[in-house]
């Protein structure tokens, strides 16, 4: 028996990534399967962005670049963070990473020592607890409640706090619930952070441009007394349909940055130059982002109106991101519901348990899928649920 790294060997595989791959393989055999597992825009990357990458590659911008990112991109990101997010980071506080996921990993590695605790909010993105565990930290979930519209309270955060707490991770607009930070959520987080000056805040803002109603996406880094302790993570995958480009970034204080850079230098060196040049172009593509957002909004309305009227199912109205978070009352747990929907209705979603939702039976369906597919999903779901009733 090989003696491998126990901490890593014991990590659970990412359920959404595994299910997405499994469903894609099943679709090869059965074209009628409706795959709503992936957190991936179904739109093509805007033409201008691809053109720029191609031109840069042809012109020979194909070697190592400045480690933390090319100056042009870091400057553009600093400008974006300052004007859009009111987060006044300097360009040398910004690191360009291969995807936001790696930025989360770097930040968590840089902050936690073995045994330190990091609080994450459930339901929440599947990778946070595993990334915390990979760094030797201990994930502590705060279970927000469906009945309370997944509102954050100071008391709930406080209950999760211990002397070992070093980090709070938040993600808004949220994957999987589609919630956006409300003013009262922000206040609860700010109060918690002010009560614990040795805790850092990691704010994953990857869905910031995909918002429909409710509140604006306001970054916690814009709160002046929290700025120094906030690490922003963001990326190009969702806003610009660039999942396969693997481009993200983080911004943080100089002190944290210098630690993050050590790990970055020894594990990645830099991201590719022609992709970074194309990322500069992407930052000027807000019209394309807005077109996609409007499409997602139409699909959100379609699913919300369709699912709410079905027996045995309920849905929160997503305020952002592109996920339908649906609660089922079928006398099965969320994995059983997913198996049932796939086997009997050809609908593939991700079970809520993967996101730490333990109380309610929920399933996440991505509506980054065509309207035709979503209409087919509604038809199949209606047939199943009315039969079940």
The answer to whether 325 touches 177, Cβ cutoff 8 Å, is yes
Sole binder of ligand PLP in the list 237, 239, 334, 366 (CB under 6 A): 237
Name the segment binding ligand PLP (CB under 6 A); options: 21-29, 94-102, 135-143, 250-258: 94-102
Looking at residue 252, the DSSP 8-state letter turns out to be: -
- CA gap 69, 58 in Å, rounded: 20
Q: Which of residues 9-48 bind ligand PLP (CB under 6 A)?
A: 39
- Chain position carrying tokens 């302790």: 229
Name the segment binding ligand PLP (CB under 6 A); options: 22-30, 85-93, 97-105, 144-152: 97-105
> Least distance from C-beta 122 to ligand PLP, angstroms?
13
The answer to whether 146 touches 315, Cβ cutoff 8 Å, is no
Pick 89 or 125: Cβ nearer ligand PLP = 125
- CA gap 229, 298 in Å, rounded: 37
**Token couple for 214:** 């409710």
Q: Is residue 150 a contact residue for ligand PLP (CB under 6 A)?
A: no
Pick 65 or 203: Cβ nearer ligand PLP = 203
Sole binder of ligand PLP in the list 23, 109, 203, 243 (CB under 6 A): 243
* Residues near 231 by beta carbon (within 8 Å), at least 6 away in sequence: 107, 111, 200, 201, 202, 203, 250, 251, 252, 256
**DSSP string of 107-176, one letter each residue:** HHHHHPPTT-EEEEEES--THHHHHHHHTT-EEEEEE--GGGTT---HHHHHHH--TTEEEEEEESS-TT
> Least distance from C-beta 127 to ligand PLP, angstroms?
7
Q: Is residue 156 a contact residue for ligand PLP (CB under 6 A)?
A: no
Pick 366 or 381: Cβ nearer ligand PLP = 366
Q: How many CA atoms lie within 13 A of 19 on its CB side?
A: 26
**Token couple for 327:** 């609660």
**Mask of contacts with ligand PLP, 62-91, x by CB under 6 A?**
------------------------------
Q: Is residue 99 a contact residue for ligand PLP (CB under 6 A)?
A: yes
Q: Is residue 139 a contact residue for ligand PLP (CB under 6 A)?
A: no
Q: Is residue 248 a contact residue for ligand PLP (CB under 6 A)?
A: yes
Pick 107 or 338: Cβ nearer ligand PLP = 107
Q: Is residue 250 a contact residue for ligand PLP (CB under 6 A)?
A: no
Q: Measuring CA to CA, which residue among 172, 195, 198 is closest to residue 183?
A: 172
Sole binder of ligand PLP in the list 45, 171, 239, 281 (CB under 6 A): 171
DSSP SS3 for 284: coil
Pick 249 or 304: Cβ nearer ligand PLP = 249
Binding site for ligand PLP (CB under 6 A): 39, 99-101, 125, 171, 175, 204, 206, 235, 237, 243, 248
């Amino acid at each position: 028996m090989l003696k491998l790294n126990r901490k890593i060997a014991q990590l659970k595989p990412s359920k959404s990534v595994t299910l997405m791959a499994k469903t894609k393989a099943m679709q090869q055999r059965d074209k009628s399967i409706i795959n709503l597992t992936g957190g991936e825009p179904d739109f093509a990357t805007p033409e201008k962005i691809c053109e720029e990458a191609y031109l840069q590659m042809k012109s020979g911008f194909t070697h190592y670049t400045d480690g933390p990112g090319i100056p042009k991109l870091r400057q553009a990101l600093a400008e974006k963070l300052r004007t859009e997010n009111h987060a006044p980071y300097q360009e040398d506080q910004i690191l360009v990473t291969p995807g936001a996921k790696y930025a989360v990993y770097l930040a968590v590695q840089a902050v936690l020592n073995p045994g330190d605790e990091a609080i994450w909010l459930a339901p929440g993105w599947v990778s946070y607890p595993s990334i915390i565990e990979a760094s030797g930290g201990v994930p502590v979930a705060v279970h927000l409640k469906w009945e309370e519209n997944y509102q954050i309270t100071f008391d709930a955060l406080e209950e999760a706090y211990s002397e070992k707490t070093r980090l709070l991770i938040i993600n808004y607009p949220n994957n999987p619930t589609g919630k956006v930070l409300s003013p009262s959520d922000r206040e609860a987080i700010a109060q918690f952070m002010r009560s614990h000056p040795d805790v850092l805040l990691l704010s994953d803002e990857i869905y910031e441009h995909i918002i429909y109603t409710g509140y604006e996406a306001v970054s916690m880094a814009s709160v002046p007394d929290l700025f120094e302790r906030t690490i922003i993570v963001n990326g190009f995958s969702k806003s610009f349909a660039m999942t396969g480009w693997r481009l993200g970034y983080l911004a943080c204080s100089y002190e944290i940055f210098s630690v993050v850079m050590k790990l970055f230098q020894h594990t990645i060196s830099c991201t590719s130059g022609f992709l970074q040049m194309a990322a500069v172009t992407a930052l000027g593509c807000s019209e394309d982002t807005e077109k996609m957002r409007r499409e997602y909004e139409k699909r959100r309305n379609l699913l919300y109106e369709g699912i709410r009227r079905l027996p045995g199912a309920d849905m929160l109205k997503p305020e952002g991101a592109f996920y339908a978070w649906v609660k089922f009352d079928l006398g099965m747990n969320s994995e059983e519901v997913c198996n049932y929907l796939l086997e009997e209705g050809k609908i593939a979603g991700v079970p809520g348990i993967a996101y730490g939702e333990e109380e309610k039976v929920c399933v996440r369906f991505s509506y980054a899928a065509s309207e035709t597919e979503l209409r087919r999903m509604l038809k199949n779901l209606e047939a199943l649920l009315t039969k079940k009733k």
